[in-house]
Amino acid sequence: MAEENAAATEEQQPKFIIQKIYTKDISFETPNSPAIFREEWKPKLDLQLGNEYNRLDEDTHEIILIVTVTAKVNDQVAFLAEVKQAGIFTLTGYNKEEMGPLIGSYCPNTIFPFAREVISDVVIKGGFPQLVLAPVNFDAVYRHQIDQARQQMEAAQATH
């Protein structure tokens, strides 16, 4: 009886399983090389984040974190690096309210260190100094996206 209760409890427990983390796409451009290498290296960095979501089956989800870094020196693009770092996650036993933050925040936070490493490696291989991206507060990013979506919905309803 105790074993049956333990098995039933285990089945009801939410499960978060990382099946795979992988680089889905990578791009690196140095449009102003080799001249840019002669400039004093005081870059202005622009970091852009995005994500994509694909439901593979009932419990399996592909989350793609898109990280784009543009470095400019004297208003010239030194490099543009973009990586689509993906993860396949099994998420079972979560309610609808829990799934949003998992997909929009927790999964991207899990993927980000891998994307950061890919960006750093490609920048070095492109002939530039090491670039270490700072951690990102994906909870705040997710809340901002939710707030923007809510404002857009309210604005659309106000015009109708």
What is the number of alpha carbons within 13 Å of residue 6 lying toward its C-beta?
Answer: 3
CA distances from 80 to 111, 115, 119 (A): 20, 14, 10
Query: Residues 72-82: what's their mean pLDDT?
Result: 97
**3-class DSSP assignment, residue 50:** strand
Q: How far apart are CA 119 and CA 66, in angstroms?
A: 11
Q: Is the pLDDT of residue 87 over 70?
A: yes
Q: Is the pLDDT of residue 4 over 90?
A: no
Name the CATH architecture for the domain at 14-155. Answer: Roll (3.10)
Alpha helices in the chain, H assignment, sequence order: 2-12, 96-101, 107-125, 138-159
| pLDDT tier, 27 (very low <50, low <70, confident <90, very high otherwise) | very high
Confidence band for 19, pLDDT divided at 50, 70 and 90: very high
Whether pLDDT at 44 is above 90: yes
Nearest of 102, 30, 119, 1 to residue 66 by alpha carbon: 119
User: Which pLDDT tens digit goes with each residue over 59-69?
Assistant: 999 999 999 99
Q: What is the pLDDT of the chain when averaged over all its residues? A: 92
The pTM for the full model equals 0.85
